[in-house]
Amino acid sequence: MGKKIEWYLDFVNLEYRPRDEIIALYYFEPREGVSKEEAAGRIASESSVGTWTTLPGMPEERIRKLMAKAFDIDGNFLKVAYPLELWEEESIPQLMTGVAGNIFGMKAVESLKLLDVKLPESYLEGFKGAIYGRDAPQKIFRKRHNLITSTVIKPKVGYTAEEHAEIGFQIMRGGIDCIKDDENLTDQSFNKFEDRVRLMAKVRDKAEEETGEVKDAFINVTAPNLRELERRIKLIHEYGFRYFMIDVVISGFTAVQTATDLAKDYEMAIHAHRAMHAAFTRKNHGISMLVVAKLMKIMGVDQIHIGTVVGKLEGRKEEVAAIKEMLLRRNVDEIPHLRLDQDFHHIKGILPVASGGLHPGILPDVFDIYNLRRDPLVIQVGGGVLGHPDGPYAGAKAVRDAIDAYFDGVSLERKAEESPELRRALEKWGHLKPV
């Protein structure tokens, strides 16, 4: 059988040097009996124009121009270059159908993880990015420093809209900027979306009146369809909120691009919750959190959860740091095997959100990890406020006092001498790092 029946190795060219193209960085483990070149060719083929066999009738010249090229194999790390003509302008969903589509199911690889995607200016120019992004502490909250604080009400769901709003009011009075819906609170019978928006607007205004500070809420617009998503965003806007929140991974890229378009119309900021990301970001098979965060930045969310390192949820320090820098900066350098270099051009820096298992006793650790004295941050403390022995107001005040202590360069124990709320928080949790 002389005739070639497959053409995978045509997609491998280790001499190739990419021009103005999209470059993907993968971690890959070929299956037993498949060479790295054969696996690389299959990845480049299946993510661009190829299939399992040769195609005698294809328009050779035109298709060869669209072929992806596996051009760099470094151990288990692979770089693939994709011609820009492969991609629809301004469509992240369509980008993912290629660089993160069928390839994860190929038998030729035991594991495959998309680690980063480098996007040239000619691809980025159709995207607007975030309105406020890293400037939100000043532009929305008129803060002198770089920190936005938030509390998600706990238990996650179960309170009525009235109870939710009353607890939210106590927390905002206690010194927290925003009340966040939990990722699974949307429009349940016991806490209807419309009721929560209406009642939260009332207590937001009362708390602003009482504190003289800007208060807001990250109300969850995650919805069963795009029409309902739009209706929820519109209602939140009508009640004067500056933000809305969406579960971006669960909602999907089309919903996120719809939400970011609407946010531009209403000049609103978006809090991106990443629930479900750990189904594919944790191990050596799937998509890195860095890719998820980069795409959200380009689509135009203003802030996204990326981990705490010291809290209850997984997230290695070097990975969190690499993602944080990518979110905040106009451009970042390559970190071999972790992050490609990227110039974001006109796309604004956005805020990292540190959340998950936090309480006053470990806030200084998180602030150091995020270099808060230099860089802006959103901190979210849920159980660490609602679990305070003296109630939500005291819980919020304990967090606020811990933050003040950090900016004043004072230890928590020293600050606790003048803050009974902080002292009681330290008595309950000390410096516990929850697992």
Which residues lie near Mg ion (CB under 5 A)?
182-183
Query: Is 353 within 8 Å of 243 (Cβ atoms)?
Result: no
The gap from C-alpha 142 to its chain's centroid, in whole angstroms, comes to 24
Classify burial at 56, counting beta carbons within 10 Å of its beta carbon; exposed 0-12, middle 13-18, buried 19 or more.
exposed
Contact with ligand CAP (CB under 6 A) among 30, 168, 383, 395: 383
Residue 183 or 375: the one with the smaller Cβ distance to Mg ion is: 183
Which residue has the CB atom at the shortest distance from Mg ion? 182
Residue 355 binding: pick among Mg ion, ligand CAP, none (C-beta 5-8 Å cut-off by kind)? ligand CAP
Looking at 128, 164, 215, 273, which residue is catalytic? 273
Binding-residue total with ligand CAP (CB under 6 A): 19
Tell me the per-residue interface mask from 156 to 195 with ligand CAP, x by CB under 6 A, - otherwise: x-------------------------xx------------
What would the 3-class secondary structure string for 293-340 be?
Answer: HHHHHHHCCCEEECCCCCCCCCCCHHHHHHHHHHHHCCEECCECCCEC
Residue 36 or 154: the one with the smaller Cβ distance to Mg ion is: 154
Classify burial at 430, counting beta carbons within 10 Å of its beta carbon; exposed 0-12, middle 13-18, buried 19 or more.
exposed
Closest C-alpha among 419, 410, 354 to residue 381: 354
Looking at 154, 156, 192, 345, which residue is catalytic? 154
In whole angstroms, how close is the CB of 392 to Mg ion at the nearest point?
16
352 binds ligand CAP (CB under 6 A): no
Q: Is 273 a catalytic residue?
A: yes
231: helix, strand or coil = helix
In whole angstroms, how close is the CB of 64 to ligand CAP at the nearest point?
43
Residue 46 or 375: the one with the smaller Cβ distance to ligand CAP is: 375
Which is it for the CA torsion 91, 92, 93, 96, positive or negative? positive
> Beta-strand (E) ranges in 333-410?
342-343, 351-355, 377-380
Q: What is the phi/psi pair of residue 211, to 5°?
A: -100, -20
274 binds ligand CAP (CB under 6 A): yes
In whole angstroms, how close is the CB of 196 to Mg ion at the nearest point?
16
Residue 173 binding: pick among ligand CAP, Mg ion, none (C-beta 5-8 Å cut-off by kind)? none
Classify burial at 176, counting beta carbons within 10 Å of its beta carbon; exposed 0-12, middle 13-18, buried 19 or more.
buried
Closest C-alpha among 377, 254, 400, 402 to residue 306: 377
360 binds ligand CAP (CB under 6 A): no
Task: Evaluate the omega torsion of the peptide bond into residue 360 and state whether it is cis, within 30 degrees of 0.
Answer: no
Q: Is 154 a catalytic residue?
A: yes
Which residue has the CB atom at the shortest distance from ligand CAP? 382
In whole angstroms, how close is the CB of 391 to ligand CAP at the nearest point?
16
What are 14's two structure tokens? Answer: 């280790």
Residue 39 or 249: the one with the smaller Cβ distance to ligand CAP is: 249
- Residues between 286 and 315 with contacts to ligand CAP, criterion CB under 6 A: 305, 307, 312-313
Residue 255 or 340: the one with the smaller Cβ distance to ligand CAP is: 255
Residue 128 or 274: the one with the smaller Cβ distance to ligand CAP is: 274
* DSSP code of residue 37: H
Contact with ligand CAP (CB under 6 A) among 43, 326, 358, 422: 358
**Chain contacts with ligand CAP (rule: CB under 6 A):** 152, 154, 156, 182-183, 274, 305, 307, 312-313, 355-358, 380-384
Active site residues: 154, 273
